[in-house]
């Protein structure tokens, strides 16, 4: 029997400089060390222009990385795609932008922007938000509100105030007696709104209650909220609790029925659930209160097969001739496995942002439910379970190409807890 090809993706693991924060170097990894010493190897770029990002200063991410691995081609992605549409003006000429704008101008409705507030260029970029705010003011919109998600994950852990100060300066410059441009609500990205793979719907519900209903602890400003929570919780930005900006004891703005709403994240995995909450009449994951609908758009189409969202500002790249398509045409049986946190990466992203299988007959997917606890508390995650299923699939002789993703390096790495990251590396290596 011919030996199968096995692709093992250790998400978030790369070549470092061996410094005090290099968990890969500090961990005991005899398996990885042996493979690198005795097997043919090379290094691949997983950032910048090599994976379709704007410049080589832009770090890679799981989404574009798996797109590139899955198709072996370079497409303009996320930040680059959006930036090009802003620079050419095509974003503002899109049918969706025009409809959302006309709704505000003709019906006196507010415009809301929801998204990750940083320049990490992984899920969003503050420059895109600022460009759209300025265009909104240029077009005469009078009531515009921002619902900000604090990063501290793709950018320094406690950098939120840098972005808040930048945004507040822009909002102040756009406001006058007739135009109100303000931050209305926010919270850490790992606490509200930005769940993925339906792992934690209560997290999305908390975001809904914060942004839409204006429920939660009130502060005079986003800055006050961040400074207060940091003093009380000692949390990094991504874990800061939700907050609502108030005026005279009431929320500055809630998202009212009929308003226009833009989710300005360009990456799809953590944008889909909140999009469904706004878009779907038959939504049943939590009680939306008296919500009847808004004019909603995502920055991109986050899932082309499932039509999430129904309206978006920028056309996504059409990725063709993925490896899965090529192998299925050749009759090759494939196997893909990971836990929930990265299951979509070896399926959806790997297959060029397509849900479902290319071939039900030739493909087998296995998803292991992830634990809903802080990753540093269980740094091994589901590495044992992934390994067991992968070995079992290899031994079956059914599959000629197998792939898996160990999320540990990425998910535990983002916690910043070095001891936990070292344990995560050793768990995967074992």
Q: What is the pLDDT along the chain (430 residues), one digit of tens a residue?
A: 578 999 999 999 999 988 999 999 999 999 999 999 999 999 999 988 888 877 787 778 788 889 999 999 988 877 888 998 999 999 999 999 999 999 999 999 999 999 999 999 889 999 999 999 999 999 999 999 999 999 999 999 999 999 999 999 999 999 999 999 999 999 999 999 999 989 999 999 999 999 999 999 999 999 999 999 999 999 999 999 999 999 999 999 999 999 999 999 998 889 999 999 999 999 999 999 999 999 999 999 887 657 899 999 997 777 889 999 999 999 999 999 999 999 999 999 999 988 899 999 999 999 999 998 999 999 999 999 999 999 999 999 999 999 999 999 999 998 889 999 999 999 999 9
d(CA 167, CA 29): 44
d(CA 252, CA 257): 16
Residue 284 burial (10 A CB sphere; 0-12, 13-18, 19+) = exposed
Contact 400, 1 (CB under 8 A): no
Q: Which of 62, 94, 124, 275 is catalytic?
A: 62
Q: What is the pLDDT of residues 170-189, one digit of tens each?
A: 999 999 999 999 999 999 99
Contact 159, 151 (CB under 8 A): yes
Complete DSSP assignment for 232-276 = HH---GGGPPPEEEEETTEES----TT-EEEE----STTTHHHHH
d(CA 65, CA 62): 5
Task: Return the closest-CA partner of residue 364 out of 97, 4, 3, 1.
Answer: 4
In angstroms, how far apart are the furthest CA atoms of the chain?
77
Q: Where are the beta strands (DSSP E) in 289-333?
A: 295-300, 312-314
Residue 317's alpha-carbon distances to 11, 55, 67, 164, in angstroms, are 23, 18, 11, 31
Classify residue 346 by its DSSP letter.
Answer: I
Classify residue 337 by its DSSP letter.
Answer: E
Q: Give the domains, in start order, of the chain with CATH numbers.
A: 5-77+318-429 (3.40.720.10), 78-314 (3.40.1450.10)
216: left (phi over 0), alpha (psi -120 to 50) or beta: left
Residue positions counted in the chain: 430
Residue 330's alpha-carbon distances to 324, 334, 336, 401, 428, in angstroms, are 10, 11, 18, 12, 32
pTM of the model: 0.68
Complete DSSP assignment for 146-175 = EEEEE-SSSS-TT-HHHHHHHHHHHHHHH-
The two structure tokens encoding residue 30: 């005899």
Q: What is the pLDDT of residues 22-45, one digit of tens each?
A: 999 999 999 999 999 999 999 999
Q: What is the pLDDT of residues 376-385, one digit of tens each?
A: 999 999 999 9
| 199-213 core/surface letters (b: 16 or more CB in 10 A; e: else) | bbeebbbbbbbbbbb
Residue 292 burial (10 A CB sphere; 0-12, 13-18, 19+) = exposed
Classify residue 41 by its DSSP letter.
Answer: -
Contact 235, 188 (CB under 8 A): yes
90 is catalytic: no
Contact 71, 319 (CB under 8 A): yes
Helix-helix angle 160-174:222-233, to 10 degrees: 160
Q: Which helix (H) or strand (E) holds 328?
A: helix 323-329
């Amino acid at each position: 029997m011919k030996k199968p090809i096995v692709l093992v993706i250790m998400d978030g693991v790369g070549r470092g400089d061996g410094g005090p924060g290099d968990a890969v170097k500090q961990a005991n990894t005899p398996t990885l060390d042996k493979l690198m010493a005795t097997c043919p190897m090379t290094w691949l770029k997983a950032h910048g222009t090599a994976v379709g990002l704007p410049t080589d200063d832009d770090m890679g991410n799981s989404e574009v990385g798996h797109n590139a691995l899955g198709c072996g081609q370079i497409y303009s992605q996320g930040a680059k795609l959006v930036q090009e549409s802003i620079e050419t003006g095509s974003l503002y000429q899109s049918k969706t932008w025009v409809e959302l704008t006309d709704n505000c101008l003709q019906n006196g409705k507010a415009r809301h922007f929801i998204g990750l507030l940083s320049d990490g260029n992984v899920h969003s970029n503050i420059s895109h938000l600022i460009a759209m705010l300025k265009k909104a003011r240029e077009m005469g919109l009078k009531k515009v509100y921002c619902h900000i998600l604090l990063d501290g994950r793709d950018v320094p852990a406690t950098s939120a105030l840098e972005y808040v100060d930048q945004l507040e300066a822009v909002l102040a410059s756009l406001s006058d007696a007739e135009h109100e441009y303000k931050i209305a609500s926010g919270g850490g990205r790992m606490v509200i709104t930005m769940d993925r793979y339906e792992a934690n719907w209560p997290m999305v519900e908390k975001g809904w209650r914060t942004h839409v209903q204006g429920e939660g602890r009130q502060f005079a400003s986003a800055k006050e909220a961040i400074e207060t929570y940091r003093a009380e919780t000692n949390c990094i930005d991504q874990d800061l609790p939700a907050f609502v900006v108030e005026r005279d004891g009431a929320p500055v703005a809630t998202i009212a029925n009929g308003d226009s709403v833009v989710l300005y994240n360009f990456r799809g995995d953590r944008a889909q659930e909140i999009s469904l909450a706004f878009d779907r009449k038959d939504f049943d994951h939590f009680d939306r209160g008296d919500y009847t609908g808004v004019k909603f758009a995502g920055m991109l189409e986050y899932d082309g097969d499932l039509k999430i969202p129904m309206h978006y500002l920028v056309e996504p790249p059409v990725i063709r001739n993925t490896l899965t398509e090529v192998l299925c045409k050749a009759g090759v049986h494939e196997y893909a496995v990971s836990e929930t946190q990265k299951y979509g990466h070896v399926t959806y992203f790997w297959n060029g942002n397509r849900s479902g299988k290319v071939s039900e007959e030739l493909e087998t997917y296995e998803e292991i439910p992830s634990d809903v606890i802080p990753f540093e508390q269980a740094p091994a995650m589901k590495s044992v379970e992934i390994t067991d299923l992968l070995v079992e699939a290899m031994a079956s002789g059914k599959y000629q190409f197998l792939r898996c993703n160990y999320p540990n390096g990425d998910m535990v790495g983002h916690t910043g807890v070095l001891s936990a990251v070292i344990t995560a590396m050793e768990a995967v290596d074992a």
